[in-house]
A and B are shown apart, each in its own frame.
Chain A
Amino acid sequence: MSEMSDHLSKWVNACVDSAKEFASVALGIEQVAVNGVVAAMPSNQPIALIALAGSQSSVQLGLSASPEACQAISKMLLGMEMDEPDLESGEVADAMGEAANILAGQVKSLMSCVDSSLNLGIPIFIRGQIDKSADSEVGLAHIHIGDIPIGVVVIINSER
Chain B
Amino acid sequence: MRVLIVDDSKTMRMIVKRTLRQAGYDSCEIDEAGNGKEALDVIKANKPDVILCDWNMPEMNGLELLQALNGQGVKVPFGFVTSEGTPEMKQLAADNGALFLITKPFTPETFQQQLGAVLS
Contacts and interface: CB of A to CB of B under 8 A. Distances in A.
B43 interface: no
A95 B56 CA distance: 16
Main secondary structure, interface of A, reads: helix
* Chain B interface extent, by class: 20 to 34
Contact of B14 (A78, A104, A112): A78
Interface string B53-64: 000111000000
Interface of B: 8-12, 14-15, 18, 56-58, 82-86, 88, 103-107
B9 to A, nearest CB: 5
27 contacts: A22-B105, A25-B105, A25-B107, A77-B15, A78-B11, A78-B14, A78-B18, A79-B15, A79-B18, A91-B10, A97-B9, A97-B11, A98-B9, A101-B56, A101-B83, A102-B83, A102-B104, A105-B83, A105-B104, A109-B84, A109-B86, A112-B86, A116-B88, A120-B83, A120-B84, A122-B8, A122-B58
* Chain A interface extent, by class: 20 to 34
A17 interface: no
